[in-house]
Amino acid sequence: MSQENLSIQDWHKKQAVDNFNYTWDLIDKKDRTDLDNINMIHTAHASRFHWGEIGKPLNFARGEWQISRVYALLNMPESALFHGKQSLEFCTANNIEDFDLAFAYEAIARAYMISSDKTQMQKYIDLATKAAENIEKQANKDYFLSELKSVCL
Protein backbone atom coordinates (compact mmCIF):
# COMPACT_ATOMS: atom_id res chain seq x y z
CA MET A 1 0.00 0.00 0.00
CA SER A 2 1.49 3.32 -1.00
CA GLN A 3 1.49 6.25 1.40
CA GLU A 4 -1.09 7.98 -0.80
CA ASN A 5 -3.58 5.23 0.05
CA LEU A 6 -3.06 5.35 3.80
CA SER A 7 -5.75 6.69 6.09
CA ILE A 8 -4.64 9.58 8.28
CA GLN A 9 -4.57 7.15 11.24
CA ASP A 10 -2.37 4.70 9.36
CA TRP A 11 -0.12 7.48 8.09
CA HIS A 12 0.48 8.78 11.63
CA LYS A 13 1.14 5.24 12.86
CA LYS A 14 3.65 4.63 10.06
CA GLN A 15 5.42 7.90 10.86
CA ALA A 16 5.47 7.09 14.59
CA VAL A 17 6.88 3.60 14.07
CA ASP A 18 9.39 4.59 11.39
CA ASN A 19 10.72 7.49 13.45
CA PHE A 20 10.88 5.36 16.62
CA ASN A 21 12.85 2.66 14.80
CA TYR A 22 15.18 5.16 13.15
CA THR A 23 15.81 6.76 16.54
CA TRP A 24 16.63 3.33 17.94
CA ASP A 25 19.10 2.75 15.07
CA LEU A 26 20.78 6.05 15.96
CA ILE A 27 20.84 5.16 19.67
CA ASP A 28 22.66 1.93 18.78
CA LYS A 29 25.02 3.56 16.30
CA LYS A 30 28.59 3.40 17.61
CA ASP A 31 30.10 6.47 15.98
CA ARG A 32 27.26 8.98 15.82
CA THR A 33 28.10 12.27 14.19
CA ASP A 34 26.82 15.63 15.42
CA LEU A 35 24.23 15.46 12.64
CA ASP A 36 23.19 11.97 13.81
CA ASN A 37 22.73 13.36 17.32
CA ILE A 38 20.54 16.19 16.06
CA ASN A 39 18.54 13.78 13.90
CA MET A 40 18.15 11.46 16.89
CA ILE A 41 16.52 14.27 18.88
CA HIS A 42 14.23 15.20 16.01
CA THR A 43 13.17 11.66 15.15
CA ALA A 44 12.43 10.80 18.79
CA HIS A 45 10.22 13.86 19.09
CA ALA A 46 8.62 13.17 15.70
CA SER A 47 7.71 9.64 16.76
CA ARG A 48 6.15 10.89 19.99
CA PHE A 49 4.25 13.62 18.11
CA HIS A 50 2.70 11.12 15.71
CA TRP A 51 1.77 8.76 18.55
CA GLY A 52 0.18 11.75 20.23
CA GLU A 53 -2.12 12.09 17.25
CA ILE A 54 -3.39 8.50 17.19
CA GLY A 55 -1.86 6.46 19.99
CA LYS A 56 -2.72 5.38 23.49
CA PRO A 57 -1.05 6.19 26.83
CA LEU A 58 1.25 3.18 26.45
CA ASN A 59 2.60 4.65 23.19
CA PHE A 60 3.01 8.03 24.90
CA ALA A 61 4.91 6.49 27.83
CA ARG A 62 7.26 4.64 25.48
CA GLY A 63 7.79 7.71 23.33
CA GLU A 64 8.64 9.84 26.35
CA TRP A 65 11.01 7.13 27.57
CA GLN A 66 12.81 7.10 24.22
CA ILE A 67 13.15 10.89 24.21
CA SER A 68 14.56 10.73 27.73
CA ARG A 69 17.09 8.09 26.66
CA VAL A 70 18.20 10.24 23.72
CA TYR A 71 18.79 13.23 25.97
CA ALA A 72 20.63 11.05 28.49
CA LEU A 73 22.93 9.78 25.75
CA LEU A 74 23.62 13.37 24.77
CA ASN A 75 24.33 14.37 28.38
CA MET A 76 21.36 16.75 28.62
CA PRO A 77 20.06 15.95 32.13
CA GLU A 78 17.29 18.54 32.39
CA SER A 79 15.60 17.34 29.20
CA ALA A 80 16.22 13.67 30.07
CA LEU A 81 14.59 14.18 33.47
CA PHE A 82 11.63 16.09 32.05
CA HIS A 83 10.78 13.35 29.56
CA GLY A 84 11.51 10.55 32.03
CA LYS A 85 9.00 12.10 34.42
CA GLN A 86 6.51 12.40 31.56
CA SER A 87 6.92 8.67 30.88
CA LEU A 88 6.35 7.88 34.54
CA GLU A 89 3.29 10.14 34.63
CA PHE A 90 1.71 8.29 31.71
CA CYS A 91 2.42 4.99 33.45
CA THR A 92 1.04 5.96 36.84
CA ALA A 93 -2.00 7.86 35.51
CA ASN A 94 -3.00 4.94 33.28
CA ASN A 95 -2.07 1.94 35.46
CA ILE A 96 0.70 0.91 33.07
CA GLU A 97 3.02 -1.46 34.87
CA ASP A 98 5.39 -4.28 33.94
CA PHE A 99 8.25 -3.42 31.57
CA ASP A 100 7.12 0.14 30.88
CA LEU A 101 6.84 1.24 34.51
CA ALA A 102 10.27 -0.19 35.27
CA PHE A 103 11.77 1.66 32.30
CA ALA A 104 10.10 4.92 33.33
CA TYR A 105 11.91 4.68 36.67
CA GLU A 106 15.11 3.72 34.84
CA ALA A 107 14.83 6.84 32.65
CA ILE A 108 14.61 9.07 35.69
CA ALA A 109 17.50 7.25 37.40
CA ARG A 110 19.59 7.70 34.25
CA ALA A 111 18.77 11.42 34.12
CA TYR A 112 19.90 11.80 37.73
CA MET A 113 23.02 9.78 36.90
CA ILE A 114 24.11 12.25 34.22
CA SER A 115 23.34 15.16 36.54
CA SER A 116 25.51 13.45 39.22
CA ASP A 117 22.69 13.37 41.79
CA LYS A 118 23.56 10.07 43.43
CA THR A 119 20.80 10.25 46.06
CA GLN A 120 17.97 10.70 43.55
CA MET A 121 19.59 8.25 41.16
CA GLN A 122 19.63 5.56 43.85
CA LYS A 123 16.01 6.30 44.80
CA TYR A 124 14.88 5.64 41.23
CA ILE A 125 17.16 2.62 40.79
CA ASP A 126 15.45 1.16 43.86
CA LEU A 127 12.00 1.95 42.42
CA ALA A 128 13.02 0.45 39.08
CA THR A 129 14.35 -2.68 40.76
CA LYS A 130 11.11 -3.09 42.70
CA ALA A 131 9.05 -2.56 39.53
CA ALA A 132 11.18 -5.16 37.74
CA GLU A 133 9.90 -7.81 40.15
CA ASN A 134 6.54 -7.49 38.37
CA ILE A 135 7.83 -7.89 34.81
CA GLU A 136 6.07 -11.05 33.67
CA LYS A 137 8.26 -12.26 30.80
CA GLN A 138 11.65 -13.43 31.98
CA ALA A 139 13.35 -12.27 28.77
CA ASN A 140 11.96 -8.76 29.29
CA LYS A 141 13.03 -8.81 32.94
CA ASP A 142 16.54 -9.93 32.03
CA TYR A 143 16.83 -7.23 29.35
CA PHE A 144 15.55 -4.57 31.70
CA LEU A 145 17.95 -5.55 34.49
CA SER A 146 20.88 -5.50 32.06
CA GLU A 147 19.92 -1.95 31.05
CA LEU A 148 19.46 -0.87 34.66
CA LYS A 149 23.00 -2.07 35.46
CA SER A 150 24.32 0.61 33.11
CA VAL A 151 22.91 3.30 35.42
CA CYS A 152 25.70 4.18 37.85
CA LEU A 153 28.00 7.02 38.79
- Tell me how far apart the alpha carbons of residues 70 and 36 are, in angstroms, rounded to a whole number: 11
Note the pTM of the prediction, 2 decimals. Answer: 0.94
How confident is the prediction for the chain on average, in pLDDT? 96
15-40 pLDDT per residue, tens: 999 999 999 999 999 999 999 999 99
- Tell me how far apart the alpha carbons of residues 10 and 17 are, in angstroms, rounded to a whole number: 10
Phi, psi dihedral angles at 28 (to 5 degrees): -80, -15
- How is the chain split into domains, by residue range? 7-55, 77-153
pLDDT at 4: 74
Residue type, 114: I
Residue type, 22: Y
pLDDT at 116: 96
Mean pLDDT per 10-residue run, the chain (153 residues)? 80 98 97 98 98 98 98 98 98 97 98 97 98 97 96 80
